[in-house]
Amino acid sequence: MKAMVLERPGEAAIKAVPEPPAIGEDEVLLQVRIVGLCGTDLSSYRGRNALVSYPRIPGHEVAATVAELNPRHPEWQIGTEVTVSPYANCGRCSACLRGRPNTCKANQTLGVQRDGALTEFIRVPASRLFRAHLTLKELCLVEPLTVGFHAAARGRIAPGDTVAVFGCGGVGLGAVAGAASRGATVIGLDVVDAKLASARKAGAAHAVNTASGDLHAQLAELTGGHGPDVVIEAIGLPETFRAAVEEVAYAGRVVYIGWTKEQVAYETRLFVLKELDILGSRNALPEDFRNVIRMLEAHRFPVEGAVSHMIPMAGCPDILEAWSREPTHFSKIMIEVC
């Protein structure tokens, strides 16, 4: 079968790979229909993802169709359209024992620590499947949005909070929508006007282009001089990591989704003077998938505006190269596999 393979940093190709072996007793065979690309895939292509070894088949944002019936799981009939939780956990580490398998010490995510979904067929544990009354494009958006929803949950966002979100790509839009769904006033922050327009449609009350004015002054004006109660960082740059701590209100919360590829130097007195809660946010939980699916089924998210490119798998190597060269020209890329 065909697959899109990252041979080494900066080199991707469509190749023939072996078909999956027979499904296990608790697995379902899926025909992959659409795969979304995110910043993790771009980092893997560029050779900047420390969790990836090569060669690697990327792809963890999945819309698929059940291709084979497993008699042990008759609830997953052939032809059922599904999305997938791409994470695997051990069940034994401290995170798993605390009911937080999303941050399992031995986590393996499709397309990162193990081969992913940019291929024609994959085997997936039945417990990782989610069905919904959604189109394939909408199903493919579920996973990246769950990452942002999980960050909103980590930030304990509540009605009356003002939340600033750095980065309004796929994950950032999930954070915007997740915060808005919790009753917060959301400020979207980005350098691309089109992404800010999508953030408004996803629930942001305000949209700030950080390249066109003083960030501190604009946030101060929008928050009565206090700063946001919560800042969610969904970019992964040293300057936005620092800005999150600098701009958040006293007694505020900072949630980091991405991470930077280099060390970050902080003015650490702000951690103490502001008595901040500094939180990491990794992957998503099943409840995040269910919440995002409900939002999409209620048509409360700008699906069409969030997707900038839809291309066949044959064009994947070229678009990865173009994306790497000019990342601000792309938002959400989706690959039609079959």
d(CA 297, CA 293): 6
d(CA 44, CA 291): 29
Question: Dmax of the chain from CA atoms?
Answer: 61
pLDDT at residue 162 in the model: 98
Distances, alpha carbon 210 to alpha carbons 128, 189, 244, 285, 325, in Å: 38, 6, 13, 31, 22
**Is the predicted pLDDT of residue 334 greater than 90, yes or no?**
yes
d(CA 296, CA 280): 26
Structure tokens at 141: 């958006």
Range 216-233 burial, b when 16+ CB lie within 10 A, else e? eebbeebbeeebbbbbbb
Burial class (CB in 10 A: 0-12, 13-18, 19+), 319: middle
pLDDT at residue 94 in the model: 98
Which residues on neighbouring strands pair with residue 27, listed in sequence order?
Answer: 125
**Predicted confidence (pLDDT) per residue in 90-120, tens digit:** 999 999 999 999 999 999 999 999 999 999 9
Structure tokens at 143: 């996973």
Q: Per-residue pLDDT averaged across 152-171, rounded?
A: 97
Average pLDDT, the chain: 96
- Residues 173 and 198 sit within 8 Å (Cβ to Cβ): yes
Sign of the Cα torsion 161, 256, 57, 107 reads negative
What whole-number percentage of the chain has pLDDT above 70? 100
- Return the axis-axis angle of helices 215-222 and 238-247, rounded to nearest 10°: 40
- Residues 65 and 120 sit within 8 Å (Cβ to Cβ): no
**Is the predicted pLDDT of residue 329 greater than 90, yes or no?**
no
Res. 57 pLDDT band, cuts 50 70 90: very high
Q: Per-residue pLDDT averaged across 205-214, rounded?
A: 95
CA 193 to chain CA centroid, nearest Å: 20
CATH T-level fold of 2-131+302-336? Quinone Oxidoreductase; Chain A, domain 1 (3.90.180)
pLDDT at residue 258 in the model: 84
**Which residues, other chains included, contact 6 with Cβ-Cβ below 8 Å and sequence gap of 6+?**
12, 44, 45, 52, 54, 55, 56, 57, 58
**Which residues, other chains included, contact 123 with Cβ-Cβ below 8 Å and sequence gap of 6+?**
20, 21, 23, 24, 27, 28, 29, 30
**Predicted confidence (pLDDT) per residue in 232-260, tens digit:** 999 999 999 999 999 999 999 999 998 88
What whole-number percentage of the chain has pLDDT above 90? 94
Containing 141, the helix (H) or strand (E) segment is helix 136-154
pLDDT at residue 330 in the model: 87
SS (H, E, C) 68-130: ECCCCCCCCCCCCEEEECCEECCCCCHHHHCCCHHHCCCCEEECCCECCCCECEEEEEHHHEE
**Is the predicted pLDDT of residue 75 greater than 90, yes or no?**
yes
Q: Per-residue pLDDT averaged across 171-197, rounded?
A: 96
Write out the CATH class of domain 146-280: alpha beta
Where in the chain are the domains? 2-131+302-336, 146-280
